[in-house]
Amino acid sequence: MCVKLPYCNPRIDICMRDLIKRINNVQYKSLASCCGHKKYNPTIVIKNKSTGYISELYTGKELGVRKRNRYYKKDNEGFYYIPEIN
Q: Please compute the mean of the pLDDT values over residues 18-27 and round it to a whole number.
A: 94
Q: Is the torsion defined by CA of 58, 10, 29, 51 positive or negative?
A: positive
Asked if the structure places residue 2 within a domain, the reply is: no
Give the DSSP per-residue string, 18-32: HHHHHHHTTTEEEEE
Asked if the structure places residue 42 within a domain, the reply is: yes
Asked if the structure places residue 25 within a domain, the reply is: yes
Per-residue pLDDT, 68? 66
Neighbours of 13 (CB within 10 A): 20
**Mapping DSSP to helix (H, G, I), strand (E, B) and coil, where does residue 16 land?**
helix
| Chain centroid, CA 36 distance in Å | 9
Asked if the structure places residue 37 within a domain, the reply is: yes
Per-residue pLDDT, 85? 87
Q: What's the DSSP call for residue 62?
A: B
pLDDT band at 10; cut points 50, 70, 90: low
Question: pTM of this prediction?
Answer: 0.81
pLDDT, tens only, 26-84: 999 999 899 988 899 999 999 999 999 999 999 999 998 876 668 888 899 888 889 88
> Based on the structure, what is the number of domains in the chain?
1
Asked if the structure places residue 4 within a domain, the reply is: no
Asked if the structure places residue 3 within a domain, the reply is: no
Domain containing 59: what range? 14-81
Cα angle, residue 32 at apex, residues 29 and 38 outer, rounded to 5°: 130
